[in-house]
Chains A and B, each alone.
Chain A
Amino acid sequence: MGVLLESLLPDASALALPARREAAAALLRDGLPLGREEAWKYTSLRALDQRRYVAGDPQAATRSVDAAAFDLPGIDGPRLVFVNGVFQAAASDRPEVAGLDLLALSEHPGALSGLLEDSAAGARADAFVRLNTALVADGAYVRVAAGVQVAAPLHLVFIGAPADADLAWQARLRIELGTGAALRVVEHHLGSGAHRHLGNLVSDSRLADGARLELLQLQDVPETSVLVRRSTFRLERDARLVATTLEAGAQLARHEFRVHLAGRGARFESRGVFVLHGRQHADTRLDVWHEARDTACDVAWRGVADERARGVFHGAITIQPGADGADATLTNKNLLLSPQAEIDSQPVLEIHADEVKAAHGATVGQLDEHALFYLRTRGIAPDAARRILVAAFCSAMLDELAPAALRERLDGLLADRLPSAMESQP
């Protein structure tokens, strides 16, 4: 057994709930996926397996965080703040909104154990879901009643704060939208200072008939930390999920994004971008299952890697038997800015139904030399020209984000992450 599991699960039999004990036992039996598992083909966990962590943060509630670090333009609705995975009421803002329930799971142990029972059945063999199930103590439960369209965006902040030890925190997120309900959510990951924590978030969202979830996932954690996420969504009839995902931080970021288009006419749109430099490693694994007739997905992701960074994008669409009339598009474009950088793009399309429309494509390339020369002939220095071109490449994925001030903030965040000679704006 690796150091990581030894340090986090010294006595699995002492865990309180059967679901936790089962998950821990299975995890200790199977360990982390260190072999040749297809799902971990491009990401080695060997170094992580030998790291020692402290489970949870008993002082989390008293650690002060600066709200200025996570304020976003136009995101002015309710806010739940989790510091090292622990809900902090003082930093949060839970105004009364008709039809919207916002629970911190630490305040509702019954709700938490319900979620654990629920996931124990479905989690199967994934090591990080097991780890989460064994140890999670907090998170958010978000419910929107049928027919309620919540106007104010919900800001979920997961902020890592430096501590005496390297911490491993676990959190759960459950979002339930009733029939015809609508909600905007910003899932925001960042750090309040340098740390080497391991964060592990398991989220599960259920969209009833005609519900609409607009989700912005913004990952900008310190480049010394590790963040593992599994986001699962189940969409019933005519439900719609519109997601924008931005991955900029972390030493190692693993993000599994799983969408079940379970009801007829359900639709999923995804725009995403990762920008990596140094020795960052980001592995995004997006799976979409078309399980009903006339379901649609439209996925476009871009990636940029510089220096010795490594990016992985696995995008798989499965059109199951009976999902006739499905319409699926997946594109993935990537830019390598250095000869030592690497991006692995793996589009997969599996079709088991008739009369479907499906298209996918992936490219990995370099900056366009003609464009670079063109900018230089107009007086723009090579570094600035590169930056202009890369920023444009990325920000194309944010085009539809509103308000403009938010889009500009994120453009700026991406631009800051681009390496080499970040000159002032013109």
Chain B
Amino acid sequence: MLSIDNLHVRIAGKEILKGLSLEVKAGELHALMGPNGAGKSTLGHVLAGREGYEVTAGSIEYDGQDLLALAPEERAAAGVFLAFQYPVEIPGVNNTYFLRAALNAQRRQRGEEELDSMQFLKKVREKLAVLHLKDELLHRAVNAGFSGGEKKRNEIFQMALLEPKLAILDETDSGLDIDAMKLVADGVNAMRDASRAFLVITHYQRLLDYIVPDFVHVLAEGRIVESGDKTLAQELEQHGYGWVAQRHIPGAAAAGAA
């Protein structure tokens, strides 16, 4: 479904991703871990199509298309969803209005019939029930004045409603208490199926107790330095990121020894 090959990305002249390659197939859940500054969020933004990120080499293929050639809204319509690490507050735009605008914009682009407000509300209620969210969320402005936990829940709610094929969660667990994190995990687990893929970007192993990954990758210095199954995440938790760095980054071992 997603095939990233030797991706190099620069921001403001500085190279952040330096040859990242990753293969994600339908039905799989990949966890991408790594220390701060490794380039995890950069990957999420590049996949969603943020401006200001210069791809200097490599390619990203999604569902047989060149993902980098698509505008952000085209990627969304094609089934790519990014749950933001810092969801944006949009005062004055009602959440329900926003969600319906988004869902119908995607359906239009895919040549599907738009949902009328009755059909839309029915779908919204189903998703709210699955995620144990309150109606109240619908009547507020998008993320405006939301707590950190509420913003993340709203991201998961959007994901549930938009039903993407590839969902990228960018540190959705950061700043969440255990209850909120379980809710995020429930939202992801409820959607896992053979046709959908997830890329879960996280700094901590904790979330992976609730969302069990098929694969775990460690990103350091702009590329994936180690891949494995869920046990890799547990090893990282025990040894810390320094352990990976010492094994894979030239010079890091010497620096560590000194």
Contacts and interface: CB of A to CB of B under 8 A. Distances in A.
Contacts of A382: 71, 73
Interface string B86-102: 01111111000110111
B49 A370 contact: no
A388 B48 contact: no
Given A378-B102, A379-B102, A426-B101, A396 B92 contact: yes
Interface string B79-117: 001101001111111000110111111100100001000
Nearest to B80: A377
A373 B51 CA distance: 9
A45 B81 CA distance: 53
Contacts of A381: 73, 105
Contacts of A388: 93, 98, 101
Contacts of A392: 90-93, 141
A389 interface: yes
A373 B91 contact: no
A379 B92 contact: no
B84 A374 contact: yes
- Which of A375, A382, A389, A426 is the most central at the interface, judged by chain B CB atoms within 10 Å of its CB? A426
A225 to B, nearest CB: 31
B90 A376 contact: no
Contacts of A376: 49, 71-73, 76
B158 interface: yes
B245 interface: no
Given A379-B103, A379-B109, A370 B93 contact: no
Nearest to B161: A378
A interface, over-half SS: helix
B43 interface: no
Given A373-B50, A426-B100, A378 B92 contact: no
Contacts of A373: 48, 50-51, 72, 88
A369 B88 CA distance: 10
A426 B105 contact: yes
A383 to B, nearest CB: 10
A376 B77 CA distance: 10
Interface in A364-402: 368-371, 373-382, 384, 388-389, 391-393, 395-396
Nearest to A368: B88
Contact of A395 (B50, B75, B92, B103): B92
A378 B121 CA distance: 18
B110 to A, nearest CB: 9
Nearest to B89: A371
B102 to A, nearest CB: 4
Interface centre among B50, B100, B158 (most CB of A within 10 A): B50
B162 interface: yes
Contact of A370 (B73, B88, B141): B88
B167 to A, nearest CB: 12
Contacts of B91: 392, 396
Contacts of B50: 373
Interface in B150-171: 158, 162
B189 to A, nearest CB: 22
A1 B87 CA distance: 61
Interface string B178-198: 000000000000000000000
A369 B51 CA distance: 10
Contact of B72 (A368, A377, A426): A377
A380 B101 contact: yes
Contacts of B101: 380, 384, 388, 426
Interface string B52-90: 000000000000000000011101110001101001111
B82 to A, nearest CB: 5
Most A CB contacts (10 A, CB to CB) among B75, B92, B103 go to B92
A169 B72 CA distance: 52
Identify which of B49, B75, B82, B105 gathers the most chain A CB atoms within 10 Å of its CB. Answer: B105
Query: Which of B72, B104, B106, B141 has the most chain A CB atoms inside 10 A of its CB?
Result: B72
Given A377-B49, A426-B104, 9 more contacts: A374-B88, A376-B49, A377-B81, A378-B98, A378-B105, A380-B73, A388-B93, A392-B141, A426-B114
Q: Which 3 A-B pairs have the closest CB atoms?
A: A392-B92, A426-B101, A379-B106
